[in-house]
Amino acid sequence: MTAKNRSFIDALWDFCCSLKLTVVSLILLAATSIIGTVIQQNRDPSEYLQLYGETTYRIFEALQLFDMYHSWWFLTLLALFALNLTACSIKRFPRVWRMVRQPVLTPEDSHYRTLSNMEEVVTKDSPENLRDKLAAVIKENFSAPTITEKDGRIHLYAEKGSWSRFGVYVTHISILVIFLGAIIGNVFGYKAFVSIVEGSEADQVWLRGTREPVDLGFTLRCESFSVTYYEGSMRPKEFKSLITVVENGEEVIKDRPVIVNDPLKHNGIVFYQSSYGPAGDPFFTFEVTERASGESQTYRLRKGQRQMLPGGASFRVADFAPSFQNFGPAARVDVMPTGSSPRSFTVLKNFPQFDQQRGGDYIFNFVDYKQRQYTGLQVAKDPGVWVVWAGCLLLVVGSMVAFFLSHRRIWVTIRSLDGKSGIMIGGSAHRNQPAFEGFFDDFKKKLREEVKGS
Amino acid sequence: MTSAQLFNFTTIGYFAAMVLFFAYLATRNKTVALTATVATWVGLALNTAAIAMRWVESTRMGYGHAPLSNLYESVVFFAWSIVLIYLLMDLKYRQRAVGAFVIPLSFFGMIWAQLSLSDSIEPLVPALQSNWLTYHVITCFLGYAGFGVAFGASIMYLIKVGKEEKSDPDSPAGGILSIFPSARVLDDINYKAIMIGFPLLTLGIITGAAWANYAWGTYWSWDPKETWSLIVWFIYAAFLHARFTRGWVGRKAAWLSIIGFGSTIFCYLGVNLVLSGLHSYGGS
């Protein structure tokens, strides 16, 4: 490998490890993420065209701004972030491992000069006396020191929370684990949707986006769907589907209520109550009374279906609304009498006497209607979700350790100086230096008092 | 006593605390500072009682859900969270001047909630009927509160350093500034408060993801609210990294903290008022 190549690789590696890259990629991720909250994502092209016009639409489309969180550039940014995270960890870990396993027990003077918390004291006491006194003070105020004598100098070293140095690596790995979980979910799982009409079955679901069918390997039957409301209001209380699962001709789950926040799970596939709506035309029940004879008859019919009445006339339900203004269910009825033009009027289910006042030959009473519903279920298969949760757990534990604990170290070196003793005191914390500085100032004071008191 | 009355007293308590903290800045009298702190504690107690009473009232009405379900309830809980985090940090730092920059957040929150938000107790729509709601809201708001305290400290920091740089470096800053904590302590409070807020926000995002996964089958769907919470997370992650390793203390840190809190507020309110998505505060 030539020197030029070598230096290029070094430079690339340094770039991957740099903290500047971390801060820049975090800020870029934050800034670009805003775009997708302003431009609604994954809508119909026609909606975008209407909103932005042709030119802007083409530019946005080319930049993949309509599905930006899955665009090549956003994924590249995430990959860069992950690469940076990995490279930083690989670069720093060995040094940190050494620092924890093999602390500097016999620091040179130059070591003290690198510490931002440093103090030198000269006193008359003998080094041996000082060693015992200072060891006691350090133990009382910090932790028990390791004492090493080397080249006529006495070194005291004490530390706290050395393992907290690993918290940051746990945090970094946790983010990679979350990414891994997301990838597993994307590759081996799917998100889909299925609508099932009450009383019918489905053994396929449709993928979100591509709308391709996927076989479930079992059958779902929607027994019924219902909405309940809080008393005296139109505020929904519960959306409920009763679902039966049939596998190999056997009902393995029967009449399981599936409600929002309580999904149904079977064979690793989860079904969530998500929407509902009317399925097909409702069936209407009408009681029609002939005004002349006073005779009544009941009819069941669908919307638009023509129904003969006694006396040669006929009628049909032209239109229907489950809630007409504040009057409840309403139907528009067309009557086609023999020999005169058709007449159109509205009947209300909640006001049975209403149509008498119209004064027609036939009095219509809207007795009831049956509307079959379909239930819409979100379907998800995500084998990566537990990996994501494991990552989240590591993230919380790792960041707590990284934030709230710090590796604090104190060194004291004592040497004799013509019958006097010189003491060097140094300390460092790998996180949260200001707090350590406060502690160290106090600590120095105590040490000095101890030394002076002798 | 009803929760509405208790919330009134809470607002009065925070108002008194705020005025006393301002008075402390003006008088530099330690007794005033102590009185202000006592008023803050009383306000917190009242706020706690009010939230508890609202829960009881909801139970009496037959709903029985934690009072964390609409905008009004979230604002009064936010006020509570900010005061709680402030007082916990006060126990350690005892820098009373900070109160003058943090308590107003809670007071204005309470005033806004009481004057212009609907305080009726509504039953939960199906999407909110989950215990995850409670965990999610509590962790998010305690996180936001940490950022709120950091914001107050950052403002003070900028005022302090700004004034110090203008005046003679040898003479200590006079006037109100003399009772401001030192720049170093303010920077430390900023950092500590974010250190409290960040893991809580992380937990808030995770509990939200867990809930989304349970209710909708997907732990992350890039909904604007989710995305904004992640944006806030990115900003504070950048803050922490910039600071951890490159000694980005001081002015830049203060500005990042202020931008972070601005984004937090946008995530909390702006998303609902400006953008559309899943979090609608029950239609308010």
**Beta-strand relationship, A213-229 and A236-247:** antiparallel
Largest CA distance in chain A: 135
Could you tell me the pLDDT band of residue B175, with boundaries at 50, 70 and 90?
low
Residue A264's DSSP bridge partners are: A271
Chain B residues within 8 A of A273 when measuring between CB atoms: 126
ipTM of the complex as predicted: 0.87
- Tens of pLDDT, residues A288-334: 988 888 888 899 888 888 888 887 888 998 888 888 877 888 889 99
**A288-294 contacts at long range (C-beta below 8 A, 24 or more positions apart):** A288/A315, A288/A362, A288/A363, A288/A364, A288/A365, A289/A362, A289/A363, A289/A365, A290/A361, A290/A362, A291/A360, A291/A361, A291/A362, A291/A363, A292/A361
Q: Judge whether A410 and A104 are in contact, CB under 8 Å.
A: no
Is residue A230 within 8 angstroms of chain B, CB to CB? yes
Is residue A234 within 8 angstroms of chain B, CB to CB? no
pLDDT of A235 over the 90 cut: no
| Gap from B188 CA to chain A (nearest CA, Å) | 6
Residue A262's DSSP bridge partners are: A259
Chain B residues within 8 A of A34 when measuring between CB atoms: 227, 231
Length of chain B: 284
Please tell me the distance from the alpha carbon of residue A175 to that of residue A158, in angstroms, as a whole number.
33
Q: Supply the DSSP symbol for A164.
A: G
Q: Quick one: pLDDT at residue A447?
A: 86
Please tell me the distance from the alpha carbon of residue A447 to that of residue A118, in angstroms, as a whole number.
13
Task: Please name the member of A22, A41, A272 whose beta carbon is closest to the beta carbon of B215.
Answer: A272
Question: At A362, which helix (H) or strand (E)?
Answer: strand A362-370
Is residue A263 within 8 angstroms of chain B, CB to CB? yes
- Tens of pLDDT, residues B26-56: 898 999 999 999 999 999 999 999 999 999 9
- Tens of pLDDT, residues A82-91: 999 999 889 8
A439 vs A356: which has the higher pLDDT: A439
- Tens of pLDDT, residues A274-293: 888 888 778 888 989 888 88
CA distances for B199 relative to A49, A175, A397, angstroms = 42, 14, 9
| Cβ-defined contact of A399 to B199 (cutoff 8 Å) | yes
Chain A residues within 8 A of B227 when measuring between CB atoms: 33-34, 36-37, 69
As a whole number, the mean pLDDT across chain A is 88
Q: Quick one: pLDDT at residue B282?
A: 39
pTM: 0.82
Residue B252's DSSP bridge partners are: none
Strands laid side by side in the A330-336 sheet: A307-308, A314-321, A330-336, A343-348
Choose from B213, B229, B273 for mutation: most chain A CBs within 10 A.
B213
| Gap from A158 CA to chain B (nearest CA, Å) | 23
Burial class (CB in 10 A: 0-12, 13-18, 19+), A260: buried
Is residue A36 within 8 angstroms of chain B, CB to CB? yes
Task: Please name the member of A182, A238, A434 whose beta carbon is closest to the beta carbon of B188.
Answer: A434
pLDDT of A351 over the 60 cut: yes
Is residue A432 within 8 angstroms of chain B, CB to CB? yes
The single-letter code of the amino acid at B197 is G
Per-range mean pLDDT, top range of A417-431, B51-65, B92-106: B92-106
Size of interface A-B (CB pairs under 8 A): 117
**Per-domain residue ranges of chain B:** 3-283
Helices B99-116 and B30-60: crossing angle in degrees, nearest 10, is: 30
pLDDT of A148 over the 50 cut: yes
| Cβ-defined contact of A38 to B122 (cutoff 8 Å) | no
| Gap from B106 CA to chain A (nearest CA, Å) | 26
Return the exposure string of A413-434: e unless at least 16 CB atoms fall within 10 Å of the residue's CB, then b. bbbeeeeebbbbbbbbbbbbbb
B29 vs A360: which has the higher pLDDT: B29
Q: Quick one: pLDDT at residue B283?
A: 38
| Cβ-defined contact of A403 to B198 (cutoff 8 Å) | yes
- Tens of pLDDT, residues B92-145: 889 999 999 999 999 999 999 999 888 888 888 877 888 899 999 999 999 999
Take residue B160 and report the two structure tokens written for it: 């302090």
Take residue A258 and report the two structure tokens written for it: 């599936």
Is residue A396 within 8 angstroms of chain B, CB to CB? yes
Q: Judge whether B137 and B65 are in contact, CB under 8 Å.
A: no
CA distances for B138 relative to A8, B58, B78, B141, angstroms = 50, 18, 9, 5
